[in-house]
Every structure is written in C-alpha cells, then in structure tokens.
Amino acid sequence: MMQLQFKGWETALDPENFTLLSILKFRQTRDDFSFNKSVEHTLISKFVSYVAETADKKWGKVASALNNDGGIFKQAQWEDVKLFWNKIEFEKAEINTQLLRYLQTKQQLQATKNASNQINVIQNRFINKSKKREHDLQVDKETSKKHQTRSGRVTIPDYNEETDEASSSDVSIPELSSQENKPETMYATIEKGLDINSQENSKKKIIRDDVITDILGNTIDYSDATKDIFSIYKEQYPDGDLIDLRLNSPFLKKLPEPTARSYLMEMDTVTESLVPKIVHDFLVKFFSKNLSAKEWHCEIDDLKSPEPNDPVMTAVVRAIRSTLPQFIKAFSLEDQNPLLNISTIEGVYLNSFVHPCFDAFLWYIANVNYEYGEITSKSHVNRNRADGAGFMADADKYQLVYMEGSRPVARDDKEINDLEKITSNSKKMFAEIVKGIVKNRRRLPSTLRVFGGQSFRRRIHLFYIDYRGTYRLNEVDNANLPRKFSEMKDFIYFYECVLKWALLVRNVTESFDLARTEPRPSRLSFANALFQLDE
C-alpha cells in the first residue's frame, strides 16, 4: 500500500531537501491525495519511517534525521506548510462552491420540470373532461350506433381536482399507426431504458463499495483487507451496520483465508506491540514467585517500579498495588473464596475483582474516569444502565467505554444479550461524540474509537468499535481471571490484556488532544458535516 501511494518518490524527491513540504507537494500530484491535513501528515510520518527502515543509506540517513527530532510535527508549524494547506483549503472551498452552484442549478431545473409537469396534469384534466362531455353528447345523438362507438374506445385516466386521483372514462381516440408507437418498438425502448438504469445502478454500487469513508463521508486511508471485508459484508448484509470481527465470530470464520489472515496480522500489529518488553519481563518475574498469602501482601507493600521514569511501567505497578490485594484475600479464604463460589452474586463479583482493574488501568494509563454500578448516560440507547462506563476527564467528558458483566455462573444467553447491549450502545456513543465535535465546529480526532468490555463467567473480553465504511467490532484480547494461588501466573495474561486495552484508549484521548491544536474547519466544511449528520 505504501509503495503505491508513494510510487516514484525516489526520482521526484531530493535527499538534500527531504522535508514535509517537499513530500506534501509530491503527494499533491498523486491521484489519491486526500486533501486532508491530518490524514496526509499521518501518512507521511509512516512513509518517513518506511524510508528510514528500508531505503538505502543515503535516504535512510535523511529519513532517520527527520524522524528522530520529531521533524514532521515541528515542520507542520512552518509558515510554508501552513500556506500550503491554506491554499488547499481555498481550492476545496472553490470546488465546494462550484458544487453548491451546480446543485442549486439542478434544483432549479428540477423545480421548473415539476412545475411543467403540474401544468401538463392540469391541462390533461381539462382535456379529459372536455372529451368526456363530447363523448356523452355523441352517445345521446348516436344511440343507435352505440356498439360502433364502443369498438373504438380505450380507457384513460380522468383526474379528480379535489382528490388528485385518477378515475376511468371511455373516449374515442384515433388508432396508433406511427412507427414509434408499434409494440415491438416500444418494448425495445423500455428494455433499453431498463438496461441503462441497471448499468447506472451497478456503477453507483461499484463506487460505493470501492470507497471507504469515515462516518462523515470523508475518504480515509485503508488497507486492502479493510476494503475486501467491507465489500464482502455489504454483499452479504446490504442493510447491516456492524461488522463483527471478533476471533470467534461466524463472519470472520467465513472470510476468504487471505483476507482473514491480512486482517488478523493488522490487528496483531496494532495490539501485540503495545506492551513494552520491560513490562512483560517484570510481570513474568513477579508472578512466577511461589509465596503464601502473607508473603504476597509483603511483596505488594514493597513493590516499586523498576523504571521510575517509564510512565507505563509506573502505571502498571500502581494498578497492581491497588487491585492485587483483593485477589490474594479471596485466594486465602479457600472454601469461602468468592471466585470459586457458584452462589457469588454479580455485583459482588464485578465490584470486587473486575471493575477495580478497569478503573485502575484506565485512570493511570489513559486518564479516563471509570464508574461502575448501574451507570446511566445520555449516550446510551433507551437510557440503558451499564455495569461500567468510562468518561474522558477533560471538559467534554465524552464517554469512551461501555462495560457489561455477569456472575461466575451465568446462562449462555446472558453472553449474547450483553454483547448486543455493548454494540448498540457503543454505536450510539460513537455517533454522539461525532455530533458533539461537529456542532462545536471542531475537527474529528485522527483516531476515533469507542471501547467495550465484557466479563462473562470468569473470562473478560475487551473490544473496540471503529468506523470504516460502517461500524466494526474488533477484539483487543481476552483472558481468564485467576481464582487461586496455583493460577498466579495467569495474572501475566490478565493484566497485559487490560493494559493493551487501556493503551488503545490512551491513543484515542491523545488524538483528541492533538485535534484541539488543529485550526477550526471552514464554515463550508462545517455545513457539509452537519448535512452528513442530518442524513
């Protein structure tokens, strides 16, 4: 994909002038130039990293230099770069103005056509009534020839002025004899028209299925796998609005193997590199110890970050110190262990072991305020009560997280019902965020996702929903809750699962912060966005 988007870059670019502006001017000559500042800067950042890793020494050196000092973000503030994007915005405004003029002209023509049609209807009413009166007089005069008169009649509509509905009346009309009115000619014309409409509809379908857009209809950068998945889904479920891409979903299992493999590799790239090696090694070492309950409490009391300057490492240590003691206490209760007791009620189970982990990681990692215990929100469908909900801690307080859970022993249909609640509410949360941003005339963050969590029996499943032509449900990870001392090593997978999820939430909150530094969209862009929301 990168090679296609930057095809011919080695001849078009100069290593002595390898800057953001020069790359933008090169991209502007490409057919797939998006005219979107955030999209292009993100794409160029990936391109520079690609050059630094794969190109020869000459190019690799200048690309690395541009990457190492954060040149892309610094150069984005250059006056020349700002002038470049101002010019692009002006060109977009000109294009949109021309488009609006075209649409206005088209509407005027349509209004004229409609008015002409109304005149024709009125004329037809008058003509039909006149013909009916003439017919009645003719019938009175030629009663003896009634059977001859009827032989030349056909039924045509007669409009009622009050109801604007058609009734039938018999009138005499001359026999059709011209070439264009012959049946075979009429049928050929109709078939030709149907064929043209079919071709136009097919063309529209191809365009719709070949272009992946965000929720406002703007074209976005996407992979071949994303495009294939969207096309297959729309072909199978033309009225659907959510692609289920969880690991055990029937849709994912039925995808062509190359497409499914490409998607899973993309997800691995997104999620599996999130946990730093130093954190993984720390968790393995810490939870490989064979200690008693008292010794574990001492370990937790003395626990400190091995890398105080590493924010992720420090956050993980804080989360462990605040959540692990409750598990150690439960393990030490043996027969009365609530994690093993089938009679443990849902609220006690979730509030003691699941929610505190989500709360700690979301707060220490992503600065998201997680609340639990039958939470209501205007972003929920029909004011549904969530078992847990996470809100951004800034002034907007957008809801990013929706969580449902069950007790250790639950019916099978509970899992399905909870997942339906998570997806339906997450879609509404996503739409509410977009509406709030657009109505405040701000730019959408380059990374926009909402997150779902499900605790079913003793396993947690963590997801996120994004929008690529339609909503997509993506699984971040899943893990079992440890229940006893012999399962202490399971904490490695459990904590890493929640950590990955929290880091993805942080990526979204950081994207919100970055979007706030962008200039406000033009009034025309604002109007177009509102139009898309109204649709």
Give the residue-averaged pLDDT of 54-59: 78
pLDDT over 90 at 252, yes or no? yes
Question: Exposed, middle or buried: residue 211 (CB in 10 Å: 0-12, 13-18, 19+)?
Answer: middle
Q: Which of 502, 2, 38 is nearest to 271 (CA)?
A: 502
pLDDT over 90 at 246, yes or no? yes
pLDDT over 50 at 318, yes or no? yes
* Residue-wise pLDDT tens digits, 222-237: 889 999 999 999 999 9
* Residue-wise pLDDT tens digits, 324-335: 999 999 999 988
Give the lowest-confidence range in 143-152, 345-354, 421-430: 143-152
Please answer whether residues 149 and 172 qualify as being in contact, where contact means their C-beta atoms are separated by less than 8 angstroms. Answer: yes
Q: Quick one: pLDDT at residue 198?
A: 44
Q: Quick one: pLDDT at residue 121?
A: 60
Q: Quick one: pLDDT at residue 210?
A: 57
* Residue-wise pLDDT tens digits, 432-454: 999 999 888 888 898 999 999 99
Please answer whether residues 59 and 51 qualify as being in contact, where contact means their C-beta atoms are separated by less than 8 angstroms. Answer: yes
* Residue-wise pLDDT tens digits, 506-532: 999 999 999 888 888 877 777 777 777
Instruction: Tell me which of 178 and 9 has the higher pLDDT.
Output: 9
The band of 136, judged by pLDDT with boundaries at 50, 70 and 90, is low
The band of 473, judged by pLDDT with boundaries at 50, 70 and 90, is very high
Q: Quick one: pLDDT at residue 243?
A: 95
Q: Where are the beta strands (DSSP E) in 82-231?
A: 153-159, 166-172
The band of 245, judged by pLDDT with boundaries at 50, 70 and 90, is very high
Q: Quick one: pLDDT at residue 428?
A: 92
Question: Where are the alpha helices (H) located in 142-182, listed in sequence order?
Answer: 146-150
Give the residue-averaged pLDDT of 495-499: 96
The fraction of the chain above a pLDDT of 90, given in percent, is 39
Q: Quick one: pLDDT at residue 61?
A: 80
Q: Quick one: pLDDT at residue 194?
A: 42
The band of 54, judged by pLDDT with boundaries at 50, 70 and 90, is confident
Q: Quick one: pLDDT at residue 142?
A: 60
In degrees, rounded to 5, the angle at the alpha carbon of residue 29 between the alpha carbons of residues 28 and 33 is: 50
Give the CA distances from residue 279 to residues 194, 276, 362, 368, 388, in Å, rounded to whole numbers and listed in that order.
Answer: 64, 5, 17, 21, 27
Tokens of 478: 């899943």
Q: Which helix (H) or strand (E) holds 198?
A: helix 183-210
Q: Annotate 78-97 with b (16+ C-beta within 10 A) or e (fewer).
A: eeebeebbeebbeeeeeeee
**What pTM was computed for the model?**
0.62
* Residue-wise pLDDT tens digits, 25-42: 887 887 677 777 777 787
The band of 367, judged by pLDDT with boundaries at 50, 70 and 90, is very high
Instruction: Tell me which of 258 and 68 has the higher pLDDT.
Output: 258
In degrees, rounded to 5, the angle at the alpha carbon of residue 221 between the alpha carbons of residues 264 and 88 is: 170
pLDDT over 70 at 169, yes or no? no
- Distance (Å, whole) CA 60 – CA 49: 9
pLDDT over 70 at 170, yes or no? no
* Residue-wise pLDDT tens digits, 385-417: 888 999 998 877 899 999 998 877 777 788 888
The band of 71, judged by pLDDT with boundaries at 50, 70 and 90, is confident
Q: Quick one: pLDDT at residue 117?
A: 66
